Structure 1
């Protein structure tokens, strides 16, 4: 077999979605979901277990053992965790049909949603340390995370800040699109992901696991597939953890392509372009007063400002003191001038008042702050950002391939390589999950249905959780109340396209000497 240096080195381009850009990307994300054949999901959260809980909470720790082999006890423990902790990110890998006539042919759009729950919640030190050590940017999550309230449906929490309400509604609608559009969902050892997603974006978790399972079966009629279970069922001698299963699948597909056999034909799409919006919009009076007000009066008076770093006025204490001293001198001069009958005012103007230079500096600083406020979050002037044409998203280029290999704070090649090996964001984990599923789908075809609605259970090998209704229970009150929101308005339904119609715009397969070219989906293509 010819040697290929790129085996195992795939890096997936993804769209980094935060509170700064979720609004301009919102409709594009929903459009891609509507065209998906399946969607792979991965999440990161603030706790997997309850560790070293403070006695002040008086938790009964026996009710928090998530590794229990008894399903009732396991579900109770998992709901306790999900209700008291929070999501910090969600990865979504959207696989849509690329070539209609080529099996295993997909376009892939990856999205990494940085999240910030607005409910007070617990943080497990071990979980957060793990995330930080593997490249998760906690500062970015705190500053740019999409703000949402966990589990408020069917009566969403309304707060005074309109921006927070809008962010929460958008991320919830994106999740509910998966429900409304009946898309197959792919996870990897993802029972906890499903529990967290339900609590965060659907509603309060049901009291019993039977009702939870019933709800899932009706929420996702397209099916839920767990790639860890699929990998263990088909390759029991091989490891089944995510990175191993992905790179093994990648190697298999590459070898099939080199041998001229049917192989995955995947194209990673570039990040979406968008018109940046001002976030948040500053009140007009701050701009109108910039010539008179060089520093922030609120910060000077109270030590804080609702606009924080986005405020165009200075929060520098020494600068504020300088300005206030100048203001004090100006007031004294005004009083002196009112009593000046000797012509000293004229002499000051002729000789040049040193405070005039200070005024020019202050005005320049203020103008500079206003100009900085007029630049988009990624440093591009607003009027130079171009909107993305519908469905005309360019293929991944070399710049995009390199830009997401590691977080921006990697300062040395060694650190960058270490971070690349350890952490690829929730979006990258979602992509790996989707790739594994697509690989087995091509291999097993209809036989893959054997794994539909079966979720891997830790501690119970060979005994998956079956996602199907039970004759002894019914769906939960949460499900019945929330589904009216998930179904959406007539306007939302009008956005849906039949699958056949959505596929008519798929790309035509390339040909070389009359044969279809199989692509393996590596970022180096």
Structure 2
């Protein structure tokens, strides 16, 4: 189901019930940009902390335009899952001194158009949201009674004219009519909050409240003491305003409250954008970022990482052609996994998607992630049990617990990001040091081209005539060393910090000088005896 401003309030309670009933929740997001440039290249050199440091100050201009959530609810009597899927359309908002901005990358626009992204729903019907930092700022202004004046100061001219028009209409009604009530139709929730406050300031004897059955109507009583009616308390007006401004952030709050396991595919960038968009500015420290995400979602499973690890148990003929989400989903949904021929759960999506047009649509991808998670969990649980039989969600989650809170890292020095502990040690082979023999300045592009045929490598400048090479495997390292053993163009050796770094060479020379000085001192001392 698609969720926009039009149906959000009507579906909010159903969404809450479905989250509460779920065993776990599939998650996916679509972005306005996948930023390019040096800082966003996936390099074999990068530790997780280094990669985080490169992009933490740049991702604030990216945002999630769609969030997909699929609630997987286990039907014990049928040993099956009912999947309730939602695609939430989001759009940044401007409110008082909160002005959310972003960039739209041309290549991303092209990609989204290819996959039938609805830009009208994004711009006209997208849900607002606030980060926890923005929410705290607005609530503080409410507490200090500054919000109304801040809003009045930042009102656009059209809204200001509309506000004055409403005040003028009430003034004419009070002067020229004897009717006890009147209605104002105010569609915009922010302007409606302004109208309530402005009327109460200008007309001390009236009573204002929201019309029953129509939240867009402001109902005005001529007599504030009229029997059976009460002014909407300021707290209710403020709560209504905050609920509107929070928008999709209310769903994030539900996920945080119910603490259901969150399942996604390749979630590193997703977790960073979740922090930027719904928690607040990226912290300076990588460890603080991990702590904040873990506090928001204590149980996260990444099917990209799980499938990478579990795929090692399959032979070449058995394994999926890739663990990209679409390939992984089709591998399981088409019954290609021979280990899952017996006892697997039936999974029913309550609102079917059009599969041919729905990949890279957040709701569908969130369903695919959860579907793969169920199949991977069944496989893992049955291996622990020693036989293939029906398996419930508790057993699946238990069997996959070794992979919990481990987020896949693409083409990095480490396999995964650990949200609850230290990250794992580097799993790449040691670096290579390459020195140009013929040329005084080394050409990194030329070196990369020379080494490309040996496997996946990254090259970075290490000095005027030297560079470092990171390879994806020891096999690639060994091939390079063997091939360039007698090269007349480059001298390639395993990198040594002592031999090749300036600090190492300085330490080596300092040690040598100190040793020589000590020897000369004792020689001189012996000669003078």
Alignment TM-score, normalising by the size of structure 1: 0.52
User: How far apart are residue 34 of structure 1 and its match?
Assistant: 1.1
Alignment match, 1:429:
365
Q: Which runs of 5+ in 2 are unaligned?
A: 94-99, 140-146, 156-187, 191-240, 382-397, 424-529
Assess if the C-alpha contact under 8 Å between 1:44 and 1:426 holds in 2. yes
Structure 1 residues 81 and 246 mapped into 2: Cα distance closer, same or farther (>3 Å)?
Answer: farther
Alignment match, 1:25:
11
SS of the residue corresponding to residue 16 of structure 2 reads: helix
> Which of the residues 258, 263, 266 maps onto 1:181?
258
Alignment partner of 1:139 is 2:143? no
Alignment partner of 1:194 is 2:271? yes
Alignment match, 1:453:
405
Alignment partner of 1:162 is 2:243? no
Assess if the C-alpha contact under 8 Å between 2:84 and 2:350 holds in 1. yes
Assess if the C-alpha contact under 8 Å between 1:75 and 1:209 holds in 2. yes
- Equivalent residues in 2 for 1:399-418, closer than 5 Å: 401=352, 404-405=353-354
Structure 1 residues 80 and 127 mapped into 2: Cα distance closer, same or farther (>3 Å)?
Answer: farther
Alignment partner of 1:228 is 2:180? no
Alignment partner of 1:109 is 2:109? no
- Equivalent residues in 2 for 1:496-511, closer than 5 Å: none
Alignment match, 1:78:
55
SS of the residue corresponding to residue 458 of structure 1 reads: coil
Assess if the C-alpha contact under 8 Å between 1:64 and 1:80 holds in 2. no
- Equivalent residues in 2 for 1:88-127, closer than 5 Å: 88-99=65-76, 102=79, 105-118=80-93, 119-127=100-108
Alignment partner of 1:443 is 2:398? no
Alignment TM-score, normalising by the size of structure 2: 0.52
Aligned residue-pair number: 297
Alignment partner of 1:247 is 2:330? yes
User: How far apart are residue 110 of structure 1 and its match?
Assistant: 0.3
- Equivalent residues in 2 for 1:294-443, closer than 5 Å: 401=352, 404-405=353-354, 420-421=356-357, 423=359, 425-443=361-379
**What is the CA–CA distance in structure 2 between the aligned matches of 1:114 and 1:101, rounded to whole Å?**
33
SS of the residue corresponding to residue 128 of structure 2 reads: strand
User: How far apart are residue 250 of structure 1 and its match?
Assistant: 1.2
User: How far apart are residue 470 of structure 1 and its match?
Assistant: 5.8
SS of the residue corresponding to residue 47 of structure 1 reads: coil
Structure 1 residues 156 and 41 mapped into 2: Cα distance closer, same or farther (>3 Å)?
Answer: farther
Alignment match, 2:293:
216
Assess if the C-alpha contact under 8 Å between 1:19 and 1:167 holds in 2. no
Q: Which protein is richer in strand relative to its size? A: 2
- Equivalent residues in 2 for 1:473-512, closer than 5 Å: none
Give per-residue Cα distances to partners, 1:327-367, cap 9 Å, x unaligned: xxxxxxxxxxxxxxxxxxxxxxxxxxxxxxxxxxxxxxxxx
- Point out the structure with max Rg over C-alpha: 2
**What is the CA–CA distance in structure 2 between the aligned matches of 1:470 and 1:122, rounded to whole Å?**
33
